[in-house]
C-alpha cells in the first residue's frame, strides 16, 4: 500500500474509529511529527492519551478516543499563511468562529492557529479538527 501522507492516514483512522463509536484506535504509522500533532489534539481535548506500544519496527500508537471529534483532516496543499491571514482559512475549514482548531507549522514549532495569532507568526497549515 503506497503511503503519500501518513498524517492523513492517521486522521482517517481516528475519524473512522470515532464515527464507529470505538473507545480506542490502533495506528501503525508513527513519527515524531505525528506524535506532536496528536499531542495538540490531546491538549485541546479531542483525544485522550496515546502511547507507543510494540516498539519494534516503528511501533503501534494506541490512541484513546473521547468521542469529541466531529471532523478532522489534513489540509492539502499545505498553504502558507501570514500572521494576519488566518480568518480566511478559519472560514474555509472550521464550522464557526472559535469552534475547532487549525494546526499550523511555524518557525516556533507546531501550534494551533489561535496560538499563532497570539504570537503574531504565520506558517503552513497542516490539519484541522472540530
In the chain, domain spans: 6-65, 75-129
Copy the grid coordinates of residue 109.
Answer: 514549532
Residue 1 is predicted with a pLDDT of 46
Which residue's entry shows cell 492539502?
A: 76
**Coil/strand/helix, residue 40:** helix
pLDDT of residue 59: 84
Please state, in angstroms and rounded to a whole number, the distance separating the CA atoms of residues 12 and 9.
Answer: 5
Q: What pLDDT was estimated at residue 4?
A: 86
**Residue 105 has what pLDDT?**
98
Q: How does 83-105 read in b/e, with b if 16+ C-beta sit within 10 Å? A: eeebeebbeebbeeeeebbbbbb
Cell triple for 11: 486522521
Q: The domain 75-129: what is its CATH number?
A: 3.30.1490.10
The segments of the chain whose pLDDT lies below 70 read 1-3
Angle at 8 between CA 69 and CA 51, to 5 degrees: 65
CATH number of 6-65: 3.30.1370.30
Amino acid at each position: 500500500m503506497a503511503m503519500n501522507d501518513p498524517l492523513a492516514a492517521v486522521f482517517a483512522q481516528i475519524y473512522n474509529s470515532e464515527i464507529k463509536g470505538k473507545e480506542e484506535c490502533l495506528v501503525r504509522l508513527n513519527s515524531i511529527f505525528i506524535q506532536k500533532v496528536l499531542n495538540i489534539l490531546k491538549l485541546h481535548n479531542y483525544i485522550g492519551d496515546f502511547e507507543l506500544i510494540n516498539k519494534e519496527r516503528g511501533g503501534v500508537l494506541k490512541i484513546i478516543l473521547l468521542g469529541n471529534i466531529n471532523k478532522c483532516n489534513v489540509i492539502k496543499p499545505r498553504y502558507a499563511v501570514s500572521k494576519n491571514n488566518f480568518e480566511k482559512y478559519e472560514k474555509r475549514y472550521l464550522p464557526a468562529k472559535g469552534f475547532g482548531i487549525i494546526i499550523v507549522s511555524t518557525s516556533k514549532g507546531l501550534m494551533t492557529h489561535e496560538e499563532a495569532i497570539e504570537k503574531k507568526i504565520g506558517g503552513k497549515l497542516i490539519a484541522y479538527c472540530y
